[in-house]
Chain A
């Protein structure tokens, strides 16, 4: 399997200070490969080097050392950009243009004819959930969330094979986030590779197949999200949710099970056990106490726990 994005030993120094003498390393020897057809999560705290990496990939900046290839072409070959899309962080566009005009302008830059530009504009603005009444409004009147939607729409205008999304959820309300999440999932189904940077972990958990975690410009971890979380040496546990019954009785009978944790809830309780065999014991005790079972769930280590551990 060949890689669709290949990053080799990429480093970037920023020159700071008045005389540009001092150097700050923003990205340090990053090597990363991404396979086609997946949603790749690019994680890291503020200043970890996510945006720097994406800007280098987009040829907006030049690496101090190292190389990278997208779709087999070196990143300096801007003709390759006809096959990719990019939505910058907190996107900002020509505010004197209307949403429709902006889409039309970008379509023209790709050489689309008027009919195709119109079709793609309407299709994409609908898809990102921009209200039709806003299509002919100047972008200077747009909210942050609306700009984010326009940014996503323009990144998809050329039906890209890979789309790079830098913090695509920022500025969106909860409903907007869910809509964009669905849109990104849909892209994968259509075969588009999505490379998204974010620090919102729930989005990663819900969407990503593979992730890379950056810390201080260095790669801290990379791999399949599921494997990263389960293979990290942490024991799996199970959460049992109980409704009704005499909580005090139940608590006493569970106290005998090794490693079990009891948490009372209004009209019920949550019980955590470490061993699968202990589930039966809990269920038995529940019936004795007059309660009923609501659910049994395996609990893996949360991404948040993992992330905090990686970036500490």
Chain B
């Protein structure tokens, strides 16, 4: 049935970027995010005054406190916005109009994911600039620049966490997903200990268990460079490159599983 008016439809890339931009727009119009960012900036500002108590270590305190707050609040956004990203669309039935358009479910998931990543990027940039300015304010000098290595790694960690959140939300309720994602965040930061633990364990089955756990769970300790950053260190190119690749592959796996599940979902 050839139709001269047949619409050819947009390219996959165009669709994904359109959905991503709309997701970003949703976040921008949500006041909660502003509050979180402002909160982090306030914490950083308070570190300036706290720093006076640490006898000449103001800059160090600002880095520790500022980057710590960035991670905690970034993780907060990743988890809570991440789990509601798709479930909210289903619950509010906005997804009906979307999937009656020539849009694949995979395109939708990737678009939503990238949209939140874009939101996180802007948040992290704003918070990072705030921390940098605070460092400059107390005369921390080059530390204002060198912390950006740690911030880059922190951002990759949040990107992984968001993918974990979106995966859980593809098959469980938002509340449960948030809880599970939080656990992964905690365990992910301890996986290096898991590995060390496996080394000290005698039984081979126990060792295998921890080894498998170590591979399946994201090793977020690769992304923890905050303490080094407080000493003015920069991550090596090998660490940055490796951590970037690790994040890409891991996110790729998570999104593949998410799409696989999401493709089979009925929207009642």
Contacts and interface: CB of A to CB of B under 8 A. Distances in A.
Direct contact of A and B (CB under 8 A): yes
Contacts of B96: 55, 58, 60, 86, 88, 91
Contact of A109 (B3, B5, B15, B94): B15
Interface stretch (A38-46, A71-79, A238-246): A71-79
Candidate in B8, B101, B103 with the most chain A CB atoms within 10 angstroms: B101
Contacts of A290: none
Contact of B94 (A85, A94, A111): A94
Interface string B193-223: 0000000000000000000000000000000
Interface string A57-82: 01111100000000110000011111
B57 interface: no
A115 to B, nearest CB: 16
A148 to B, nearest CB: 13
B268 A61 contact: yes
A110 B22 contact: no
B94 to A, nearest CB: 6
Contacts of B264: 62
B101 A94 contact: no
Interface in B82-106: 92-104
B29 A111 contact: no
B11 interface: yes
Interface in B9-46: 9-11, 14-15, 18-19, 22, 25-26, 29-30
B101 A14 contact: no
Interface size class of A (residues with CB under 8 A): 35 or more
A84 B104 CA distance: 15
A111 B268 contact: no
Contact of B18 (A109, A155, A159): A109
Contact of B1 (A2, A81, A97, A154): A2
Nearest to B7: A82
B7 A91 contact: no
A154 B97 contact: yes
A105 interface: yes
A167 interface: no
A109 B97 CA distance: 11
A197 interface: no
Given A79-B9, A88-B93, A60 B267 contact: yes
A108 B103 CA distance: 12
Nearest to A85: B100
A83 interface: yes
A108 B10 contact: yes
A110 B29 CA distance: 24
Nearest to B98: A109
Nearest to A95: B92
A111 B266 CA distance: 27
A142 to B, nearest CB: 14
B16 to A, nearest CB: 10
Contact of A159 (B5, B25, B29): B5
B26 A94 contact: yes
Given A79-B9, A82-B7, A86-B96, A109 B103 contact: yes
Looking at chain B's contact residues, is the secondary structure mostly helix, strand, loop, or mixed? Answer: loop
B6 interface: yes
A155 B100 CA distance: 9
A93 interface: yes
Nearest to B92: A92
A60 B26 contact: no
A170 to B, nearest CB: 14
A78 B103 contact: yes
A262 interface: no
Contact of B99 (A78, A91, A155): A78
B30 A110 contact: no
A62 B265 CA distance: 8
A93 B9 contact: no
B10 A111 contact: yes
A81 B100 contact: yes
Interface string A1-32: 01010000000001000000000000000000
Nearest to A81: B102
Nearest to A91: B97
Interface string A146-164: 0000010011001101001
A78 B102 contact: yes
A205 B55 CA distance: 85
A306 interface: no
B14 A111 contact: yes
Given A94-B22, A105-B22, A62 B102 contact: no
B237 to A, nearest CB: 39
B2 to A, nearest CB: 10
A105 B93 CA distance: 17
B10 A109 contact: yes
B268 A14 contact: yes
Given A60-B96, A109-B18, 10 more contacts: A58-B100, A72-B1, A78-B103, A86-B97, A88-B96, A88-B97, A92-B92, A96-B29, A105-B18, A109-B98
Interface of B: 1, 3, 5-11, 14-15, 18-19, 22, 25-26, 29-30, 92-104, 264, 266-268
10 contacts: A60-B96, A60-B266, A78-B102, A79-B102, A86-B100, A106-B101, A110-B101, A111-B11, A158-B7, A161-B3
